[in-house]
């Protein structure tokens, strides 16, 4: 019939047109209901014929409405929104971030060594067994490898890939890359498979130092680190060296400074000893030089490595390592005034 054609050709352009369609065809007094009313009055013979046609028409009319009724809802909504929004109100302000305390301390340490002629070098955090262990004189199957709980990425006979456990791997990369003299510091993130607590984390940051040249001695090591401590913690801070062991240095030492918090009076930070350990160091083992293709008869050198977290804890009296990686704005904001 005429209406079937009208409905088939109908394309609405607005919500209003959809509504007009509904009012024309689908409401109680609309055309569809009207036709069904008329249908009651025809003879039963005609009913058989018309019934099917009429039902099909009803379905078509309803289907077209279902298809079109949501088409314009979005635009209808947004026009409502724009009426309610006051565009003259000021927008939300920008918040300027602050430097992370670890970045502040790393920068400070780097500046001190730069003045002594050290350059900054970096290496990959995903490291192979050679650079993290073997070249550094950790024999295979040696228990010293267990000193550092390693996150392995791929374990393969003689060719493990792991997250570096210390920045000493960058020493090897630097020495392999050329000929002495080398004078560099190497800041970076390192990883160890440890349970997370106030005093340990599965990742932290180190700064490695390396100085290789002809005639470098333990006296150079002591004087360099002594100067560093005076610059970082203030004139008059005491240092002491205790004999220690690292596979890649011989002799090896750990360096303590007089506790910056209690000034030797005794506190939690120094466990009431007046001293806190801040780094490991030593003369680079000749085996490491040879492994990195450096002439161990001609050159000597020293290396040291420290944890940036430990130093930051001392400088700012931070007692829980987890604060550094929690992104709590109340913690980070306290360093706002620093540059």
Q: Return d(Cα 305, Cα 45) in angstroms, integer.
A: 103
CB of 81 to ligand PHE, least distance (A): 58
For residue 227, the minimal CB distance to ligand PHE (Å) is 18
**At closest approach, how far in Å is the CB of 264 from ligand PHE?**
26
CA dihedral sign of residues 320, 323, 326, 328: positive
**Rg over CA atoms, the chain:** 38
- Spatial separation of the C-alpha atoms in residues 168 and 186, rounded to whole Å: 8
> Which stretches of 104-217 are assigned E, i.e. beta strand?
119-120, 126-128, 152-154, 161-163, 182-191, 203-213
Task: For the CB of residue 205, give the shortest distance to ligand PHE in the complex, in Å.
Answer: 11
CB closer to ligand PHE out of 168 and 292: 168
Selected from 187, 247, 280, 301, the binder of ligand PHE by CB under 6 A is 280
The pair of three-digit structure tokens given for residue 138, joined into one six-digit string: 């950790």
Binding mask 207-236 for ligand PHE (x = CB under 6 A): -x----------------------------
Task: Tell me the closest approach of the beta carbon of residue 243 to ligand PHE, in angstroms.
Answer: 13
CA 137 to chain centre: 32
Where in 283-322 is the site for ligand PHE (CB under 6 A)?
Answer: 303-305
Measured from the CB of residue 262, what is the shortest distance to ligand PHE in angstroms? 25
- Identify which of residues 152 and 272 has a Cβ nearer to ligand PHE in the complex: 152
Considering only residues 152 through 181, tell me which ones interact with ligand PHE, judged by CB under 6 A.
166, 168
Integer CA distances (angstroms), 208 to 120, 144, 308, 323, in order? 10, 19, 10, 23
Residue nearest to ligand PHE (CB): 305
CB of 270 to ligand PHE, least distance (A): 20
Q: Is 204 in the site for ligand PHE (CB under 6 A)?
A: no
CA distances from 322 to 197, 207, 327, 338 (A): 7, 19, 10, 21
Q: For ligand PHE, which residue of 246, 247, 276, 299 counts as binding (CB under 6 A)?
A: 246
- Determine if 281 is a binding residue for ligand PHE (CB under 6 A): yes
Task: State how far the Cα of 170 lies from the Cα of 120, in Å rounded to an integer.
Answer: 11
Q: How far is the CB of 209 from ligand PHE (least distance, A)?
A: 7
Q: Which of 101, 187, 188, 282 binds ligand PHE (CB under 6 A)?
A: 282
Alpha-carbon gap, residue 139 to 129, rounded angstroms: 11
| Residue 112 vs 144, nearer CB to ligand PHE | 144
Work out whether the CA dihedral 112, 118, 120, 123 comes out positive or negative: negative
Residue 239 has φ and ψ, to the nearest 5°, of: -125, 155
Nearer to ligand PHE, 101 or 307 (CB): 307
Q: Please give the structure tokens belonging to residue 311.
A: 């130093």
The answer to whether residues 118 and 183 touch, using CB atoms and an 8 Å cutoff, is: yes
Binding piece for ligand PHE, criterion CB under 6 A, among 111-119, 228-236, 277-285, 323-331: 277-285
Size of the site for ligand PHE (CB under 6 A): 11
Q: Which is nearer to ligand PHE, 101 or 305 (CB)?
A: 305
The DSSP result for 118-137, as a single string, is PEE----SEEEHHHHTGGGT
- Residue 250 counted as an annotated binding residue: yes
3-class DSSP state for residue 284?
strand
Which parts of 67-126 interact with ligand PHE (CB under 6 A)?
A: none
Which residue, 249 or 291, is less far from ligand PHE as judged by CB? 249
The CA-CA-CA angle for residues 246, 249, 250, to 5°, reads: 105
Binding site residues, ligand PHE, CB under 6 A: 166, 168, 208, 246, 249, 280-282, 303-305
Residues tagged in the binding site annotation for Mg(2+): 250
Residues tagged in the binding site annotation: 250
């Amino acid at each position: 019939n005429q209406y079937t054609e009208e409905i088939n050709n109908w394309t609405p352009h607005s919500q209003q047109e959809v509504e007009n369609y509904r009012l024309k065809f689908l409401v109680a007094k609309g055309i569809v209901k009207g036709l069904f009313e008329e249908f009651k009055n025809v003879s039963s013979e005609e009913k058989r014929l018309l019934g099917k046609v009429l039902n099909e028409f009803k379905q078509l009319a309803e289907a077209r409405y279902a298809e079109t009724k949501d088409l314009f809802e979005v635009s209808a909504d947004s026009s409502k929104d724009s009426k309610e929004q006051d565009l003259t109100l000021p927008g939300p302000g920008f918040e300027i971030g602050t430097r992370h305390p670890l970045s502040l301390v790393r920068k400070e340490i780097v500046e001190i060594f730069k003045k002594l002629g050290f350059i900054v070098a970096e290496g990959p955090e995903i490291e192979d067994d050679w650079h993290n262990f073997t070249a550094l004189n950790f024999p295979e199957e040696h228990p010293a490898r267990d000193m550092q709980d390693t996150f392995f990425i791929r374990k393969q006979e003689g060719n493990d890939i792991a997250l570096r456990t210390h920045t000493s791997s960058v020493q090897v990369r630097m020495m392999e890359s050329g000929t002495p003299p080398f004078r560099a510091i190497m800041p970076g993130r390192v990883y160890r498979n440890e349970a997370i607590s106030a005093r340990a984390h599965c990742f932290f940051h180190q700064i490695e130092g390396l100085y290789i040249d002809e005639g470098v001695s333990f006296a150079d090591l002591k004087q360099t680190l002594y100067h560093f401590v005076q610059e970082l913690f203030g004139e008059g801070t005491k240092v002491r060296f205790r004999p220690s062991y690292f596979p890649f240095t011989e002799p090896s030492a750990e360096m303590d400074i007089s506790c910056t918090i209690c000034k030797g009076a005794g506190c939690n930070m120094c466990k009431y000893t007046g001293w806190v350990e801040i780094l490991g160091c030593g003369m680079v083992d000749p085996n490491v030089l040879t492994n990195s293709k450096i002439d161990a008869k001609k050159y000597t050198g020293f290396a040291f490595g420290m944890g940036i977290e430990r130093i930051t804890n001392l400088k700012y009296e931070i007692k829980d390592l987890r604060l550094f990686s929690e992104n709590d704005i109340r913690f980070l904001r306290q360093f706002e005034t620093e540059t």
